[in-house]
Structure 1
Amino acid sequence: MMVKANIAAETGFLRVAGFAGIGFAAVIVLANVVLVPSGLPPTGAGIAEVVEFFGAHQNALAAASALMPAAWVLALVFGAGLLSAVRRRGHEGWALVGFAGLVLQNGAFAGVAAIRLALPTAEGAVTALWALHDALFTLNGVFLATAMVGFSASGLSAGLIARWQAWLGFVSAALLFCSATLTPLVIDHTGPLGLLGLAGWLMWVVWLVACGAALVVEKRITTTPGGGSGC
């Protein structure tokens, strides 16, 4: 009876974590839907453009920022679910790397969000704050890449996700890592280099939904007294 209760509880958690991953993807897309059409300056934008946007679109900025705490919580629940699912299959090594990446990206983007909220009242510090924003925003690609490599490698070896999902994560991670590595060039030269991070980020969103769906349908595997496993 106790075993059945534990199985039901873990299955329920994995489903919650799966929906959290899908919800996380939805929230970050929604935040961008609020900001980008309003004219959010791209990485490397001039200070005049930055001052104009953050002075005229404080309502949009506030709405997008209000979504971020929920996004960070959903990301952690999703990551904990992935870690739990692969750990019981004996493949937690890379999953720990992936979870560390998620935690670090939460911290990095909290800094990005805080800078955006501070910019409208920064006055003389706008130039320095915007440079810090661009650097932190672009370098965050390292943490997203770490999360996808860790969870894709562990999920694939554990049989939790399909090969195409893992490769989607690896390709996205490569693009985001390249963008982060080229941070000085991305900041100083607006243009094609910025597309590396954008393409990687779009793949990251698809990867989140795919991995979230994998957790929703995941079945609990139990270890039998004879040492085998069963469902």
Structure 2
Amino acid sequence: MRHLRLASCGSTNDEAKRRLGEGLVPPFLVSTAEQTAGRGREGRSWSHPKGNFAGSFALTPPQLLKDEPGLASLLSGLSVIEALQHFGASEADLQVKWPNDVLLAERKVAGILAEMVSKSEEIAFVIGIGVNLVQPPREARFPAAAVFSKDSAPDEAAFGDMLAEKLLQSMAFAQENGSAALRSRFKARAWRIGQSIAIGSGQGAASGLFEDIDPHGRILLRLADGSFRTISAGDVSHG
């Protein structure tokens, strides 16, 4: 995958979308050593301490993701885990936290922002990913950690290249094997699946048992009265 490495930028997602608008054909990666206006879900800021990875992947999605864009963040979280494992991170301690985070020993180490971009009749995904390779942000909504020590961390650009490879492999897997197979892979890594959780979202607060992930990438929550509720986005915490 073509990799555009910048010294500094505001938001890598914005940079990737700008290049798409100028006619650059995906797949490509825009990453940066310094990101001054990174953002996460719902417009939240994303801190980028020196030595961490910040990049956005412009990808032509397989038909499955065009039909079910909610699966993009889940697929991306699994790809982050595989890239971290390639560089020696502990497999046992890595989990994906629905809808768009990666945890190491229950502390956040990566965040994902997946956006769909349409140009004429073409559809692309811009998937922004930030990974705490060497240090966590000073302020975080959820307990955060770094994956590696400074002595053992991969180079940010090399990590981006490996993550690009894993993303392309995950997209091929999704297209070849379908939603059920992708969701099965996600559930094997999902934080607190089968346990009580609380979710705050635009649909209102709810708590219950994290029962499943539906074909659209939404949480299926079993409430105390035995009924079910599907939630498409929100902040998940211990129930």
User: TM-score band (shorter)?
Assistant: under 0.3
TM-score, normalising length from structure 1? 0.26
TM-score, normalising length from structure 2? 0.26
RCO higher in structure (CA 8 A, sep ≥6): 1
Please state which structure has a larger fraction of its residues in helix: 1
